[in-house]
Structure 1
Amino acid sequence: MTCTLILTRHAKSAWDTSAPSDHARPLNNRGRHSAAAVGTWLREIGMIPDQVISSSAQRTRETCDLMELGAPAVFIERLYHASAEILFQVLREAEHKRVLILGHNPGLAAFAHSIVRHPPDHSRFDDFPTGATLIARFDIDRWADLTWSSGKVAEFTVPRELLGA
């Protein structure tokens, strides 16, 4: 049996906003298009998660909504700018076999690098830009058995590739 992780960084956020805090910053227009494109791609390749586990920030909530995956979502405060270690702990607590985690850099990029055995041959994997999405498979029956460097990359993409820009 395998478990599958879909790891997505929130789409591009707006900096020219009157949001009262970083946590409240919304997506910009490009980010809205990117989030929708990532969702379409995941649906097209049959990678609908059983559950979404997301940061509670406005930009991750919007990314989740615009992806239109139809999966139940939980929004967790501790994923807001979480470290790789926190992301690891949260994933080990997941109860579904196919989970999408939606979060922020730099923790998300560090987690992506640490959770897979071999990185994908992609120029943008190292910096994990906004909207970047990794799909990794793990030869485990439950997330509680997760170990570092155990994932096998199945897919990796960035919105620019999906939008043809």
Structure 2
Amino acid sequence: MRLILMRHAKSDWADASLDDHDRPLNARGRRDAPRMAGWMEENGCRPDFVLSSDSKRTRETFSFLEARWGQSVPVHFSSKLYLASAPRIREIIQSTSEWLSGDQDESIQMPETLLVLGHNPGISTAASELLGHACGLPTAALVIWTCQIDSWARELTLSNCKLLDSMRPKQLP
């Protein structure tokens, strides 16, 4: 199984009156998200299922990813992932089967590749814990692991998750 932890693309701070939850992507975010989706697809890492924060910027990031992939990817948007801590992110990953049977199509199987789309500092802290060293994810960056588990309900650890790859928008050509 593969796990992808990704931070949302760059958000727009131009309108100070907006609540943090309601901030959209800026021009760089709208450019970087599809580029990252292209890299994911080229490297065989398109997810089977997405767990995402329900903020406007994560929804828009997912929309740009999915549009670049050219096909629908099942997603569950959750307020529980909005500004979630690393322990909360791990807990949500372990409850993936609940999201699959909730408001989604009953035919969705347990995903082989799971993308979790979230916010800092939690998403970077969760990545750091699985890497075994500090890792700061800039906007639209991602880290991918191969996980030696038979279910997302299993605990993810340094011993059962091996780094497969990572990418930041600034590394793309």
TM-score calculated relative to the size of structure 1? 0.88
* Alignment of structure 1 residues 3-152 onto 2, 5 Å: 3-17=1-15, 20-68=18-66, 69=69, 70-95=72-97, 96-116=111-131, 118=132, 126-149=135-158, 150-152=160-162
Question: How many pairs were matched up?
Answer: 155
CA shift digits 1:59-87 (9 cap, x unpaired): 00000000124311110001000000010
- How high is the sequence identity, in percent, across the aligned residues? 38
Give the Cα separation in 2 of the matches to 1:42 and 1:146. Answer: 25
Give the Cα separation in 2 of the matches to 1:5 and 1:12. Answer: 22
Which residue of structure 1 aligns with residue 168 of structure 2?
Answer: 158
CA shift digits 1:27-59 (9 cap, x unpaired): 000011100111111111111111010000000
Cα gap change, 1:106/1:56 in structure 2, threshold over 3 Å: closer, same or farther? same
Unpaired runs of at least 5, structure 2: 98-110
CA shift digits 1:73-121 (9 cap, x unpaired): 11000100000001000111124221000000000110001123x55xx
Cα gap change, 1:105/1:50 in structure 2, threshold over 3 Å: closer, same or farther? same
Cα root mean square deviation, aligned: 1.5
TM-score calculated relative to the size of structure 2? 0.84
Structure 1 stretches of at least 4 aligned residues deviating more than 3 Å after TM superposition: none
Cα gap change, 1:102/1:19 in structure 2, threshold over 3 Å: closer, same or farther? farther
Cα gap change, 1:20/1:85 in structure 2, threshold over 3 Å: closer, same or farther? same
SS at match of 1:144: coil
Displacement of 1:126 in angstroms is: 2.2
